[in-house]
Each structure stands twice: as C-alpha cells, then as structure tokens.
A and B are shown apart, each in its own frame.
Chain A
Amino acid sequence: MNQDLRREREAASFNPELLTHVLDGSPENTRRRREIENLILNDPDFQHEDLNFLTRSQRYEVAVRKSANMVKKMREFGIADPKEIMWFKKIHLVNFVEPVGLNFSMFIPTLLNQGTTAQQEKWLHSSQGLQIIGTYAQTEMGHGTHLRGLETTATYDPETQKFILNSPTVTSIKWWPGGLGKTSNHAIVLAQLITKGKCYGLHAFIVPIREIGTHKPLPGITVGDIGPKFGYDEMDNGYLKMDNYRIPRENMLMKYAQVKPDGTYVKPVSNKLTYGTMVFVRSFLVGVAARSLSKACTIAIRYSAVRHQSEIKPGEPEPQILDFQTQQYKLFPLLATAYAFQFVGAYVKETYHRINEGIGQGDLSELPELHALVAGLKAFTSWTTNAAIEACRMACGGHGYSHCSGLPNIYVTFTPTCTFEGENTVMMLQTARFLMKSYDQVHSGKLVGGMVSYLNDLPTQRIQPRQVAVWPTVVDIDSPDSLTEAYKLRAARLVEIAAKNLQNEAIQRESKEVAWNLTSVDLVQASEAHCHYVAVKLFSEKLLKIQDKSVHAVLRNLCLLYCLYGISQKAGDFLQGSIMTESQITQVNQRIKELLTAIRPDAVALVDAFDFQDVTLGSVLGRYDGNVYENLFEWAKKSPLNKSEVHESYYKYLKPLQSKL
C-alpha cells in the first residue's frame, strides 16, 4: 500500500467500519452486501475488458452480455429482495446501465400497476422469464416533462376491435426510451386515446415492436438507436415511429380506464395512484445522487493524499495536495454534502415505504407532501451533486480529465438525473406550488404540518400562541440545532417573499398563470431554500442516533461544515433577512477554516467508510492501495492508439506532408 495512505489510515480518530454500518443501516446489512459483492467479484462470467478502450457498439454488447448473465445469476444466487438486487447491480455494473433493465424497472411495474388481472396473466410470466423484453416509451422528440403535450395517438376502431397507433408528426416520434433502440421487442407506449371521435388523454398500450425469432421491426414500425450521447454508451436509447399500426383492444392497460368493445370509454375512479411510480423513482434518484457524489469524493480525496505538489515553504519537500487549504476547501464541503445526502436518501426511502404501506390501505393523505418534497429533493440533490462531481474531477487536475480517473464516467452517467424523470426546474416549481398552497392555508388561518410547519410561525401570520420563543435572536454557530433554525428562517423568509411577489404580480397582470411565470425565479429560490433546510435538519437529527463517541464527533464536524459552508455560500440571504450579522458571517468563515483542519486527519477514513470496491469506483486515481502512478502507466499502455509502434496515419499523411511541401 502507498505509504501516504497507510499513514492516513493509521492516524484516523475513529473506526471506519462502524461508520459503514451506520451508512448501510446495520452491521448485518454490511455483511450481506459484502457477501453479494464477493459472489460477483469471484465469478469469471462477469470479467470484462476496461470499457474505456471499447467502441460504443462494443460497450453495448458487453452490457447486453452482462444484463443477460445477470438475470440468470440472480436466480442462481437466490437474490430477490429489492435492496439486494440493487447491491447486486451496483457492484456488477460500473456505470449502472443495463439495456434489459427497463423490462424490470418500468415494463413489469407498469403492467402490475395498471394492467388487469387478465393482462397480468397474459404478459407477466413471459416478461419475467424474458420471453419478451419490454420497455417503456413515454418521452417524444418534441415533448418531455409536460405529459399532456404528447402527440402519439391511439384511435379505436370498433369494427376490428383494434387500436390504430400513429406518430402523426416528426415531433411525436418516441425518443430516448432506454432499451428501445436495439434490445426490446415490446414497449408500453403512452398515447392520446381517441374513441368515438373524442380524445380522452394519455393511456398506456402494450405494443409489440420486433418479431419474435428474427428480432426484425414489425411492419408499420420504425425503430432504432438515437445515436451517441454524453454518456450511457452502453444503453440503446431509442426512437419509435408508428404508421397506422394496429394492436388488439386487449393491449390497452385497463385496470383503471377502459374502452368497451363498442368503443365506449369508462373513466377511472382516481388517478392519484399513478403518482406512486414517479415518487418511487425520484426518491430512488436521491440515493443515486448520494452514492455518485460519495464515489467522486472517494477518488478525489484518496488521490489528493497521494499527489504531492508545490511547496508551502520554499525548500521543503512537496506536500500532499490535501494539505493545501484551497484543496480542503474544495473537497471537504463536498464530502460533508455526500454524507448529508446519504442521510437524506435514507430518509426519503424510509418515508416512501412508510407512506406506501398507507397507500396500500387506501390512505392517500400524506402523498401530496411526499410528492412535493421528493420532487424538490430530487432537483436539489441532483443539481448539487452534478456540480460537485465536476468539482471533484477538476480537483484532480489534468488526470481528472483522463478516463483513467473514472470521474468523467461518473459525471456523464449522473448528469442526466438533472433532466430526466422530471426536469429540475419544473420539479422545483412543483415543490413551490405546494409551498404556496401551504402558505395560503396558513394565511387563511389553518395550521400546516410536516416539513412546512415553520410557515405557521411567520411573523406576519403568526397564529401560534407562543410567539416570543420561536424566533431566536442569536444563532449559535457551534450548534447544529441552532443552525437548523437559521436555515428554517431563511426558508420561511424566501417562501414569504415569493408568495408576496406572486400576489403582487397577480394583481397587476390579472392572470394567475402569467404572474406565476413572472415570479418563477423567486419560486425556485424558495424551493431551494426549503430543500436546503430539510437536508440540514435531517443531518442534525441523524447525529442524535449515533452512539459511538468517536464516530459521533467526526460526523458532528461534517454536519457543522455542511451547515456553515451553505451559509457562507448563501451569506446574502442570511444577511438580507437579518438572520445573521456581518460579524457572525466573518465568524462562520473563520469556523469553516478550523473545521477543515479538524477534518483533515480523518478525510481518508471518511471516504473509506463509504466502502466502495475498486471495481465499482473504476478509477486508477481512487485505488484503495494508492498505487496511482504505476497503474496509470500500465493503463495507458493498453490504449488502442498504442497497439502499433508507428501509427497508420504516419504513412498516410505525416510522411507525405514532410515530402510534399
């Protein structure tokens, strides 16, 4: 092991294993996760060449091979618990991309949620057994987050009892669905249902797209890959165009709405339930953000402990770059953020499961707040993580730009999270809508509960009896609880400003919708402040549950850093709202620097606690053993450009260039 890393690990003030248990939820979870990881690492069927040296088609091929293997192995190993499936895939797929995956993550769940018992009987068995491979086609070339704008039509023909599917325009071509381009032979297509001359809005249809046996597109179907992307090389995101393509009436998913053989439309009872899948996916994405950022921090911090550069004092040996204050200032707030998001992710997951049980018993009361909260948190964590991964990459200097660092892959795989499953700005505005509703509710004299209960305490509204105690005058910058209060005040203030601006615009413009658009920058800001408050609150509350003293001490420092760094970044908000004074901000900045020094000795142990295997990190710079340079050189020698000593282009162009001029 590299000497620097060995020293770092020996000097740590706590046992990272205990912190790993906290992150996994229990020692038992850690044990089982590692057991599964070892199953894969020791399995020769899962070995493959470094993806960085392969073309896109080759990478797709590897992914399909692994995807196919995975289905078989999971049965073999008896892995069925969703959490275990996730672990299995995490270690198995460096980039977490699998072309056959949409069959399991979207096709089957949609079938289960929206299909009748008869429909489930017909398709569930064959899709679970991969007789058919399904995907889910919603987004169109010209239409994304705004669902009602989709153009694909399904027109019912009572004579033949069939639906006629059409992509009437270029913009209506289905575009982006994963696994659609090359892999799947069926798709659940979202289309505008038209029957008896009337449009009834979006409904889901099971559409066969490729012939079983030959895999050729069926007549009336144009299907293919949408071409190269920023990342996700392994995934065949596809397009689908349908021309008068007929499917039987029974292929419309009819658990809720129905079309009778004669074309009569029967309305669904409630459509709130369709929220469920979206909330689930978004809450899952919060966890993805946490893990992606944790990986990036692991790589950047380990490399910064191995890399030596410049001199702090002339004549002294070059120090580890992690000893530079600027490097600590770049990385440690991100490390603190990674931990914050780990706890936010765990909270969202638990809450989802809790509320989902309620839904199962017909209790939908908590769904609106969860839906609003998860939308905002998905946007908040993914925006932050997106910038943070890139900051980690740049903190590794030039080598961060090479694929050997693994960081470009983490970035390009993560960044779509900002735009898919609901574009972030739109997500923030959904949260804002809930905040405005809650604000109005308080305004009309009703208390609100849950995470927005602080709106009850607004000075202008104050309907709580105990007025004096609620607004603390002095923020204690060494207390996570007191800092949480400060974030609460900031959120309350920005929600109120947005609400008032919205009211003013509404009076001036005489249209609520125009007013909404002209206030949307404020609204996004309010949502961000709300989400930031939630993250700070969850981190502070987590501290109470940590028993081990040394782990508690180090997490407390991280929590303080997370809170204070946020204040320093948004100091304008805290000053403008008179939540803190100028001299307090100066103290905050001073305290941040002290915390950097305090965290420094534990930095490597803190990333070790994330417990990523080298294979999962996929990084030469982030190796556990720290032997960076030797392995970097070995890695580069494998580059396709080094296959021959003199490159073909020399004979074709360089030699003639030298002689012709």
Chain B
Amino acid sequence: MDSPVHRVSLGDTWSRRVHPDIASERFIQSFSVEQLTNILDGGAQNTALRRKVESIIHSDPEFSVKDNYFMTQNERYVAAVQKKFHLQIIAKRLGWSENSPELYYAYRALSGELALGLHTVFLKSLQSLGSEEQIAKWTLLCNEFRIIASYAQTELGHGTNLRGLETEATYDAATQEFVVHSPTLTATKWWPGDLGRSATHTLVQAQLICSGARQGMHAFIVPIRSLRDHTPLPGVTVGDIGPKMDYDHTDHGFLRLDHVRIPRENMLSRFAQVLPDGTYVKLGTQQTNYFSMVVVRVELLLGEIIPLLQKACVIAIRYSTIRRQSSIQPSDPEAKILDYQTQQQKLLPQLATAYAFHFLASNLLEFLHSSYDAIRNKDFSHLPELHALSAGIKAMTSDLCLQGSELCRRACGGHGYSKLSGLPSLVTRVTASCTYEGDNTVLYLQTARFLVKNFLQAHAIPGSTQKSLPPSVAYLTAPYLARCPAQKAADFLHPKLYTTAWAHVAARLIKESAHHLETLMQSGADWDKAWNQTTVIHLQTAKAHCYYISVKSFTETLEKLENKPAVQQVLKRLCDLYALHSILTNAADFLHDGFLSGAQVDAMRTGYLELLGLIRKDAILLTDAFDFTDPSLNSALGCYDGNVYERLFHWAQKSPTNTQGNPAYEKYLRPLLQSWKSKL
C-alpha cells in the first residue's frame, strides 16, 4: 500500500513501503479520515491551504529540523533565528502577512522551532492595550523588523501575582519621561522569551508612579539594545537565563534597568493615560490589563498546547501497532502491544482527550472572537466569564495534556526515553505550559472565585437568578436531580446523561465551596483568610466545572455532525470514552452524595472497557486524521509508514557521539586500561 503524497516527505528508502502491521490497520475504513481532518481544520479549504504551506516548508532544506535532537542550546537558538529569517523572506515573497493563516500553518509545520515568537505577543499586547496612534506607529516598525520586540512581565522573585511586581516607572513631569527602574535583585525581569539575545525593545510591565501616587501595573515600551550594533543601551543589563528543560530555541532572558528614561508616549494608553503634567487618567477597569493575557492564553491552546498531546498520541499509538511483545495465547505469535487491554487503557483515553480538547478550545476561541471587539471598545460585560473560562480551561488543558503526553511516552517503554522518539521534547514543552501564562493552581482558583461569586449572587437575589447568570454557569439553577437514572452499561453512553452528571457534581461542589467559605466567615474570619483556608475544595470545584464545560462542548460538536453519520459515530465513541473516563477517575465525587451507586459505577466501568475495544479498531485512522506530517512529528517511532526500527537505527548512527570520535577514550579510558596492564 502506498502512502498518500502529502504524508511522506522524509525521503528515506523505507517510506516507499508501508509496514504491513500498520497498513492492515488502515484496510477497513469505517469513516472518512479526510472528512474528519476537514472538520478538525475547520473546513476543506483550510486543509488544502495547510497542506500547501506544509509542502512549501518541507520541500525547503533550510527548514529541516532533522538534526534538532543533536544540537546544543546555542545551536538550536541559531537554527531558530535562521529559520525565522528565512521564513520572513518567503512570507514577503509570497505575500503572507503577519497573523495570516499561512504563517500559522508554517509555525505548525515547523513545530514552533522559530525564534522571535514574542514579537507576536508584543503585537497582540499592543493591539489590546495601545492607543490607535501607538498601534499604528509600533506595528509598522515591527512588521518591517526595524525593531525586534518582546514582552517582559515575570520577575526573578514574582510571577503569577501581577500586583507583586517590583519594577517601577516613575513619571518625571519636568522632562516628560518615565524613569524605569529595577529597585531590587528580585525585581530583575526573568524568563521573558527573545529577551536574552534577540530583542531590541521590550514591553515592560511596571508599577506606575506619578504625582507621588502608585497606580498599579502598566505597560511601557522600553528600548534595550542599540539599533546600530545590538549592544545593550546604557543602564540596561540583559542576558540569557541559562539552560532549561526545553525551549532551547528561545533565548529566555533577564533584564535589569537602572533608571532608564523613556518618553511619555511609550506608556500604552488605551485604558489609562498620564497627561504631560503628571495627572493620571483612567479609561478602563482593573481587569483590562488582564485582557491581553486572556487573549494569549486562549490562542495558546490550539496554537501550542493541544497539538503536543495530539502528536504524542499519534506517535505512541502508531508505535503500539508495530511493536510486538509477548503473546496473548501461548500458541500465538507475539501480539501488537495495542491489543493489550492495559495498553488501550493507557492510550485511548488520551486520544479521546486530545479530540475533546480540540473542540473545547475551538469553542472557546469562537467565544473570544465574538467578544473581542466589544471588549476593545470598552464593553466589559463578557470579560469576567471569558477570563474565568480561559483560566480554568488553560489549567485543565495543560495539566491533562502533560499527564497524557507523559503517559504516551512511558507507554513506548525504553524507546520513549530516546529523544529520537520525539516524545521527550513533547513532554518538556507541554510541561512548561503548566506554569507559564499563569500557574495552574492560581488559574483554577480564579475560576473558582468566579463560580462562587456567581453562586452567591444568584442566591442573594432570589427570583432574578435566571437572567443574571452567564451561560457557562446556567446549570446552577437547573432542576435538581438526586440520582442518576442509568441502570445498565449501555445507559451511560448518552451525552445528555453524562453532561447532566457533571453538572450535578459541579453544582454540588460550588455550593460546598460557598458553604465552607461562609461558615468560616460566620465564625469571624474575613473573606481573604477564609478563602485561603478553603482553597483545596475550591480547586476541586473549578476542576469539576471545567470537566462539565469540556464534556458539554464535545457533545455540542457532535450535534452539529448530523449530516456526517459515520464520522459522528466514531466521534461519539470518543466523547463517551472521554466522559466516562473522567467520571470514573473522579468516581468519589459522584458516589459522595449517592448520585451514583456502587453498582452504577461498576456498570459504567463495564461500558468503559467495552468502548476501549471498539475504539481500538479505528485507533490508527483517528491518529491519521490529525494529519501531522512526518517532519513535524520528527519521530523515529511515529512516522506514517511505520518503519520504526530501520529509522531508529539509521538516526542513531548520525548522532555526534558516533560521528565525532571518542576523546574520553584517549584521555581517560586508555590510561585506565594501561595503568593496570603495566602493573601485571
């Protein structure tokens, strides 16, 4: 069986034939893979465009990421700068504009191995926080790469708590300048991407001080390197923060500012201004500063985090059809490891999660798009809900993508430990997402705060509840259901049933959260202290709410597929598996108030285990549907053609440890061996 043209581009000899063990998996197609790919891409025209961009990227040797695993941190940074440079030239030639789908697909094809990523984050923050005049001026400079900009928020001693940042911007009315300064060691900006070696300018988040008053966090554009020779400007100490688990291609940096002066116009002023005389004018609410963070968080989901889990699933599941080990019955040949129930139980729920999150993030992105313009025009009515959703979903997605990709890695046994499998890099990238753009625990608690507030509000004004609740928490006023009606295993395979089950648990936990809080407050604690003493339950509450949202969003996606019954059927199984898996791993929450009985949980488990066997048959097709190219997977284990072992052997031989001699032998082993010889 031949591979479709768009699949194979590694150009090695084996890819001409597909390994029979994976070819047989594609023999019977119970649904159209292409149709599912189109759904994931958001339309057939997108699929076509994506493949066009991929073929441009992968046919160009300058974009090869083959040697990535053999490179040092420095080499990977240089390679990423080189690729970014090359991509800009191509983009210019082909007319791909900043923010175009073409550049998005190029980023995907290159698995993000590009420098200057923060340039885009800068532009997005500028869009959200800058005045029209500022947007016009700086966007032009950025687009033409006359400057290279980054975004500097986190400090050495301060992260997720924005208000704790120490960097100061003091307005000097005499010269109409801000004096930007790092007053302590812990105020050193630490972690911003592109800052270490690349950026000429950065957007600094700092405490605004004007007319002697502290006005909280604001964003300032600060030039840091000379546009002539790239040396740090006077008063600026800047460098790279050293080796990390991954992201070697990004020069995360530190920045210390010693009374650096910038013009008044460099403060972004869509929502707040400082007039020439030092008068502070507020044009928005406290929350506006969070708006750009919300945008970044939402776009990260599909742009960075979720594809990492999808790729991990592709690699692990393809490998599990090639790898044979032991036999299920003594007389049989060794079985594909995907035929073991324990292997299915590891991998297939991850696959279901990868699909669930794709639809969850797509729906959230749609919500963001529909409220984006309103918020920029200072209508903040959707912002609290958007903020709460984006915080909780980012936390849940990154948590479970990390768990899932690490599970996939270990499900590949020893070979999953080799970088050539591609899996360690996926894990180390996804793991960063659990702490960047807001630590997950803190984010969950922000969601919980929103939930508890809405609950308390709804109950403070009886009668008016229905109207005032945002759609994502409307279930708080849904009719109460004391017991789950399902009896047999098959009864559990109904979207309405398990969505209601999650709504029940989420509502119960929100109520409990509020109850715990109020009890403590009645015994004399103030809100803040009571909050800290009850955070463990709030975490549980926020997670339950996010599960509910994700299950609901998957089922809503299914409803839209009435006209594609075959695809709908296979996705429905994944949706069932996702929902049942999530309930079973949190079974205690459902047993707690008797909503589910022990016997019901057992029945559900039976249904769940049966689903594994059903999805097993379509597993390879479901991974194919993500339509990742071989170069973007960059995995010896996960290529479309399944020629795992040949490729692993071939790639290993190219390792510098094999091609560059062995100085350690000459220096240490030889004398060690000789020293004993001479004594004998």
Interface residues of A (CB under 8 A from B): 52-53, 55-57, 60-61, 64-65, 67-68, 71, 129-131, 133, 139, 141-146, 149, 170-171, 173, 175-176, 181-183, 212, 215, 224-231, 236, 239, 307-314, 318, 324-327, 329-330, 390, 393-394, 397-398, 400-404, 408, 412, 415-416, 418-420, 423-425, 429, 511, 513-514, 517-521, 524, 570-572, 575-578, 582, 585, 589, 592-593, 629-630, 632-633, 635-642, 645-650, 652-658, 660-661
Please provide the chain B residues from 51 to 99 with a CB less than 8 Å away from any CB of chain A in the complex: 69-70, 72-74, 77-78, 81-82, 84-85, 88-89, 92
Contact in complex: B325, A401 (CB < 8 Å): no
Contact in complex: B441, A401 (CB < 8 Å): no
- Tell whether A648 pairs with B241 under 8 Å between CB atoms, given A227-B419, A401-B432, A520-B342: no
Please provide the chain B residues from 385 to 420 with a CB less than 8 Å away from any CB of chain A in the complex: 402, 406, 409-410, 413-414, 416-420
Which of B77, B164, B230 has the most A CB atoms < 10 Å from its CB? Answer: B230
Q: How far is the CB of A325 from chain B (nearest CB, A)?
A: 5
Contact in complex: B85, A653 (CB < 8 Å): yes
Contact in complex: A636, B185 (CB < 8 Å): no
Contact in complex: A661, B145 (CB < 8 Å): yes
- Tell whether A325 pairs with B532 under 8 Å between CB atoms, given A149-B325, A636-B239, A652-B78: yes
Does B668 lie at the interface of the complex (its beta carbon under 8 Å from any beta carbon of A)?
yes
Identify 28 residue pairs between A and B in the complex whose beta-carbon atoms are under 8 Å apart, listed by A's number: A53-B242, A55-B72, A56-B657, A60-B664, A64-B667, A64-B668, A65-B668, A130-B673, A131-B676, A170-B646, A182-B664, A215-B670, A228-B419, A311-B163, A415-B417, A419-B410, A511-B329, A514-B329, A576-B598, A576-B601, A578-B598, A589-B537, A633-B185, A639-B242, A642-B196, A647-B197, A655-B230, A657-B85
Does B1 lie at the interface of the complex (its beta carbon under 8 Å from any beta carbon of A)?
no
Contact in complex: B245, A650 (CB < 8 Å): no
Contact in complex: A654, B230 (CB < 8 Å): yes
* Complex: A400 Cα to B81 Cα, angstroms: 26
Q: How far is the CB of A43 from chain B (nearest CB, A)?
A: 17
Q: How far is the CB of A259 from chain B (nearest CB, A)?
A: 27
Contact in complex: A423, B657 (CB < 8 Å): no
Further pairs besides A65-B667, A183-B665, A390-B431: 19, Cβ < 8 Å: A129-B676, A144-B413, A225-B655, A227-B651, A229-B417, A229-B419, A230-B424, A318-B161, A398-B154, A398-B190, A402-B242, A419-B416, A425-B343, A511-B329, A572-B587, A576-B598, A582-B593, A593-B533, A636-B239
Contact in complex: A182, B657 (CB < 8 Å): yes
Contacts of B243 in A (CB 8 A): 52-53, 402-403, 639
Contacts of A408 in B (CB 8 A): 244-245, 428
Contact in complex: A309, B592 (CB < 8 Å): no
Contact in complex: A224, B161 (CB < 8 Å): no
Which of B330, B428, B667, B673 has the most A CB atoms < 10 Å from its CB? Answer: B673
In this complex, what residue of B is CB-closest to A646? Answer: B230
* Complex: A570 Cα to B646 Cα, angstroms: 43
Q: How far is the CB of B97 from chain A (nearest CB, A)?
A: 13
A329, A403, A657: the one within 8 Å of B244 (CB): A403
- Tell whether A517 pairs with B328 under 8 Å between CB atoms, given A226-B652, A401-B431: yes
* Complex: A636 Cα to B84 Cα, angstroms: 26
Q: Binding site of A, secondary structure by majority: helix, strand, loop or mixed?
A: helix
Which of A131, A312, A524 has the most B CB atoms < 10 Å from its CB? Answer: A131
Contacts of B402 in A (CB 8 A): 390
* Complex: A518 Cα to B343 Cα, angstroms: 11
Please provide the chain B residues from 523 to 545 with a CB less than 8 Å away from any CB of chain A in the complex: 526, 528-529, 532-537, 539
Contact in complex: B328, A514 (CB < 8 Å): yes
Does B367 lie at the interface of the complex (its beta carbon under 8 Å from any beta carbon of A)?
no
Contact in complex: B164, A309 (CB < 8 Å): yes
Does B680 lie at the interface of the complex (its beta carbon under 8 Å from any beta carbon of A)?
yes
Contact in complex: A423, B413 (CB < 8 Å): yes
Contacts of B648 in A (CB 8 A): 141, 175
Please provide the chain B residues from 576 to 635 with a CB less than 8 Å away from any CB of chain A in the complex: 586-588, 591-594, 598, 601-602, 609
* Complex: A157 Cα to B87 Cα, angstroms: 61
Does B159 lie at the interface of the complex (its beta carbon under 8 Å from any beta carbon of A)?
yes
Contacts of B323 in A (CB 8 A): 142
Contacts of A656 in B (CB 8 A): 85
* Complex: A624 Cα to B434 Cα, angstroms: 27
B196, B245, B413: the one within 8 Å of A419 (CB): B413
Contact in complex: A633, B533 (CB < 8 Å): no
Q: Which 10 A-B pairs have the closest CB atoms?
A: A571-B588, A572-B587, A639-B242, A227-B655, A641-B240, A310-B161, A225-B657, A230-B424, A576-B598, A572-B588
Which of A60, A182, A231 has the most B CB atoms < 10 Å from its CB? Answer: A182
Question: What total of A-B pairs shows CB separation below 8 Å?
Answer: 367
Q: How far is the CB of B658 from chain A (nearest CB, A)?
A: 4
* Complex: A141 Cα to B648 Cα, angstroms: 9
Contact in complex: B653, A653 (CB < 8 Å): no
Contact in complex: A642, B656 (CB < 8 Å): no
Does B373 lie at the interface of the complex (its beta carbon under 8 Å from any beta carbon of A)?
no
B251, B327, B653, B660: the one within 8 Å of A57 (CB): B660
B157, B420, B651, B672: the one within 8 Å of A307 (CB): B157
Contacts of A585 in B (CB 8 A): 588, 592
Please provide the chain B residues from 138 to 176 with a CB less than 8 Å away from any CB of chain A in the complex: 144-146, 148, 154, 156-161, 163-164
Does B34 lie at the interface of the complex (its beta carbon under 8 Å from any beta carbon of A)?
no
Contact in complex: B245, A397 (CB < 8 Å): no
Contact in complex: A661, B528 (CB < 8 Å): no
Contact in complex: A576, B587 (CB < 8 Å): yes
Contacts of A419 in B (CB 8 A): 410, 413-414, 416-417
* Complex: A54 Cα to B148 Cα, angstroms: 29
* Complex: A369 Cα to B159 Cα, angstroms: 50
Does B290 lie at the interface of the complex (its beta carbon under 8 Å from any beta carbon of A)?
no
Does B133 lie at the interface of the complex (its beta carbon under 8 Å from any beta carbon of A)?
no
Contact in complex: B326, A146 (CB < 8 Å): yes
Does B188 lie at the interface of the complex (its beta carbon under 8 Å from any beta carbon of A)?
yes
Q: How far is the CB of B326 from chain A (nearest CB, A)?
A: 4
Contact in complex: B77, A641 (CB < 8 Å): yes
- Tell whether A657 pairs with B88 under 8 Å between CB atoms, given A130-B672, A402-B242: yes
Q: How far is the CB of A391 from chain B (nearest CB, A)?
A: 10
Does B137 lie at the interface of the complex (its beta carbon under 8 Å from any beta carbon of A)?
no
Q: How far is the CB of B614 from chain A (nearest CB, A)?
A: 14
Does B370 lie at the interface of the complex (its beta carbon under 8 Å from any beta carbon of A)?
no
- Tell whether A658 pairs with B146 under 8 Å between CB atoms, given A182-B665, A318-B164, A416-B414: yes
Q: How far is the CB of A412 from chain B (nearest CB, A)?
A: 8
Contact in complex: B652, A636 (CB < 8 Å): no
Q: How far is the CB of A171 from chain B (nearest CB, A)?
A: 5
* Complex: A226 Cα to B654 Cα, angstroms: 9
Contact in complex: B88, A513 (CB < 8 Å): no
* Complex: A571 Cα to B587 Cα, angstroms: 8
B74, B442, B677: the one within 8 Å of A131 (CB): B677
Does B276 lie at the interface of the complex (its beta carbon under 8 Å from any beta carbon of A)?
no
B197, B339, B535, B672: the one within 8 Å of A325 (CB): B535
Which of A310, A327, A412, A514 has the most B CB atoms < 10 Å from its CB? Answer: A310
In this complex, what residue of B is CB-closest to A310? Answer: B161
Contacts of A402 in B (CB 8 A): 241-245
Contact in complex: B197, A650 (CB < 8 Å): yes
Q: How far is the CB of B581 from chain A (nearest CB, A)?
A: 12
Contact in complex: B649, A239 (CB < 8 Å): yes
Contact in complex: B245, A654 (CB < 8 Å): no
Contact in complex: A224, B230 (CB < 8 Å): no
Contact in complex: B164, A310 (CB < 8 Å): yes
Q: How far is the CB of B447 from chain A (nearest CB, A)?
A: 13
Which of A227, A519, A638 has the most B CB atoms < 10 Å from its CB? Answer: A227
Which of B416, B436, B656, B669 has the most A CB atoms < 10 Å from its CB? Answer: B669
Contact in complex: A57, B649 (CB < 8 Å): no
Contact in complex: B239, A642 (CB < 8 Å): yes
Contact in complex: B328, A633 (CB < 8 Å): no
Contact in complex: A170, B160 (CB < 8 Å): no
Which of B197, B656, B667 has the most A CB atoms < 10 Å from its CB? Answer: B197
* Complex: A418 Cα to B656 Cα, angstroms: 28
In this complex, what residue of B is CB-closest to A641? Answer: B240
Contact in complex: A394, B664 (CB < 8 Å): no
